[in-house]
A and B are shown apart, each in its own frame.
Chain A
Amino acid sequence: MNIRETWHAIASVALKEFLHVWRDKRILALILILPPFFTLLFGYAFEATELTGVHATIIDRDRTEHTAKLAEMLAKKKTFAWKKTKDTGADPDLLRLGVSAAIVIPKDWTSTLEAGTPAPLKLFLDGTDATSAEELEGRLREMLGDFQGQENVQELTVKPLLEELPSEIFDALKTMKPEGRDKVKVEFQKLVKPWQPDTRILYNPKLRFIDYVTPGIIGLILQLLTVTLMACTIAREREAGTLAQLIVTPLRRVEIVIGKVLPYLGISLFLIGITIGVAYFHFGVHFRQPIMLGIICLLFLLCSLGSGLLISAFCHTQTQAIQFAVFYLLPVFPLSGAFAPIERLPDTVRLVSDIFPLTHFCEAFRMANLRNADISFFAGDLLFLAIGAIVTCGGAAWILSRTDA
């Protein structure tokens, strides 16, 4: 086997394959415009995920100084756009009221508050979109916590507690020195204050969702392009009859596979550069361990291109190939953890997630970039991508070798 001849053969296939893309101006425009456009689109879509301006209403059935204060506090929050509504006395009909959330302050709420056993506020939420409802609930809880933390309300709740204490304690306090008495007071206050953890956020301290979602954006765009483009390469030749012409040449299957993958690999790397550029310059996403990220991207691309090639070798027409590519790509969107952590998925579904290259790409990318972890934390993901690349490309070569073209 002559290395120079082999290289010449591979280069011939690669050049031919590149010319196919280069000559197809529509596909070329798509390839060049789509990645930056999608990065901007997805970037803006996921940059701010905070809910704002949700229509909500307060139905106050108690009407005291305290409920007025609570309403005033809530009104300041931008999460909600408050609407005034009439109280029918029944449970609020969200659809009719035109709101997504309603808080009902029950009658005699203030008196229960003063008695130290505040009656629960009734919260009505539109659960059509489960995540938003959850988020709204959290937001409201937070607000009620703020309200409770306010001094005067605290006193309201503390006073009844104090009254329940046995008188011996007060006698003991009277005999204490002022410093000691103050210490007891502070400790006591700590006891009745709602427990507040002292939280420190690691790895993505600003909690920017865009930083989290960047690998998802890169991966999805690249996977979409690589799999669909690659899926057509062999199927197109089979359809046009050129595959037979290719097979009667002394080209080895490996040379065909490498020659076909190379130009798309080059194009994809260029596109990753563009995507990362947009993420860095436009959204201010920072990238750590650039060399490691490069390796992760390379393995992911090889694995994706291999999947496309496998589909292509298996299918007989381009239409089939595109259909297969779409059905391969579809479950990847919700299940790969590109936009939401896969930890939310049930275990059985996560087994499916684990077979997608994108899942491992996102995991490794976040480990290296967000957590600045060393390779030992994501070696398994890299290994999966490497094996995936070998298996898919090898599978495509194997199908080619036994093909009745």
Chain B
Amino acid sequence: MPDPIIVLENLRKAYGATIAANDLNLAIPRGEIFGFLGANGAGKTTTIRMLCGLTRPTSGHGFIDGLDVWTDRYKIRSKFGYVAQKFSLYPDLTVTENLAFFGGAFRVPRETLGARIEKLLTQMDLVGKRDAMAGSLSGGMKQLLALACALVHSPPLLFLDEPTSGLDPVHRQQLWNLLYELGTGGTTIFVTTHYMDEAERCTEVGFVSEGRLLAKESPRKLKASFKSKLLELEIDPVMPALAALRNAPGVLDATLRSGHARIYAAEPERLLREWQRAWPFPDLKWIGHEWVEPDMEDVFKAWSQGYTSLLDRTAA
């Protein structure tokens, strides 16, 4: 890989007996939008905090631009912007005061800071709110302001910790459009999320579960790692059907998708043949079936639940 901007080497963080990040190895090239996908408590935030030099790795190393994320943490701080999971700007300062403060803190020259703030206000669509207190903004605007503050020094790398959690779909769309724009401009973006649709927008996705990195590939390749199509059954009533199917032999799991029961099984064709021959649930009415393409959620589920029989591990 040519000149990665972020490199993780056996990076580990343990809080007592709990291992939040378990020997992570990862290299992220410049210009990538890297999505770190995992459930709550999977170790996403811990990893991002280690990379930002906010918490000390228990063992292993992380490098940004070849500099150690802990021992050289003072040197690399001008190289990245960080948007925390929780809103962490000053609510009693106005939009421009927040921007001016972070501009000063990031040592943006006084001569260019004014123009930079104006540009960010326009870009984030916050011009009309420039003198509003940050605390009075809506959730979406707060997040846009947080992004603006993280970008005030035009960093080549941006860390975002679940930037869209709690946002309405309009602001989510707006935020992702901005991230695309930045990505196009050459900024490397490291974003954690637990939204599958957001993962599909990344150039590369890393699956993390219980502190371990399970896979890292482009969304297309990750989906290709799924061996077959998925079987969906239309059954009435559907809720008791899910419970029954989950306990059926040969079924790993069943979930509800658009009113249908989606089946995870190692050999779905064989199951379908068996059920067509003898439907084992007389109380449940089988209306029909169809084959669907796995989406990101299915892939993530398979990887994180360890459904190895469903996956072609060589593909990812």
Contact = CB atoms under 8 A, between A and B. Distances in A.
Interface of A: 2, 5, 8-9, 11-13, 15-16, 19-20, 23-24, 240-242, 244-252, 404-405
B103 A16 contact: no
Given A242-B90, A404-B54, A404-B55, A248 B74 contact: no
A20 B82 CA distance: 23
B291 interface: no
Which 9 A-B pairs give the minimum distances between C-beta atoms?
A12-B104, A241-B88, A249-B105, A250-B77, A23-B92, A248-B82, A16-B101, A241-B86, A245-B88
Interface string B128-142: 000000000000000
Given A247-B54, A248-B77, A250-B106, A19 B88 contact: no
Contact of B90 (A2, A11, A16, A405): A16
B56 A404 contact: yes
A5 B54 CA distance: 24
B107 interface: yes
Report whether over half of chain A's contact residues are helix, strand or loop; otherwise say mixed: helix
Given A12-B100, A15-B101, A250-B78, A240 B88 contact: yes
Q: Which of A23, A24, A404 neighbours the largest number of chain B CB atoms within 10 Å of its CB?
A: A23
A5 B78 CA distance: 13
A244 B92 contact: no
14 contacts: A9-B104, A12-B103, A12-B104, A13-B104, A19-B93, A245-B88, A245-B89, A245-B102, A246-B105, A248-B53, A249-B77, A250-B107, A404-B54, A405-B54
Contacts of A246: 105
Contact of B105 (A2, A23, A250): A250
Contacts of B302: none
Interface of B: 49, 52-56, 74, 77-78, 80, 82, 84, 86-93, 97, 100-107, 109-110, 149
Contacts of A8: 104, 107, 110
Nearest to A22: B92
A241 B83 CA distance: 11
A245 B82 contact: yes
A405 B87 CA distance: 15
A12 B101 contact: yes
A259 to B, nearest CB: 9
Contacts of A5: 107, 109
Given A19-B97, A244-B54, A404-B54, A251 B90 contact: no
Given A242-B89, A245-B89, A250-B106, 14 more contacts: A5-B107, A5-B109, A8-B107, A20-B90, A241-B87, A244-B49, A244-B52, A248-B52, A248-B54, A248-B80, A249-B105, A250-B74, A404-B54, A405-B55
B56 to A, nearest CB: 7
Contacts of A15: 100-101
A318 to B, nearest CB: 14
A271 B11 CA distance: 52
A20 to B, nearest CB: 6
Contacts of A19: 90, 92-93, 97
Given A248-B77, A248-B82, A405-B54, A13 B92 contact: no
Contacts of B52: 244, 248
Contact of A249 (B92, B97, B102): B102
- Give the most central of A12, A19, A246, A252: most B CB within 10 Å: A12
B104 A242 contact: no
A252 B92 CA distance: 24
Contacts of A251: 105
B88 A242 contact: yes
Given A16-B97, A404-B56, A252 B82 contact: no
A22 to B, nearest CB: 9
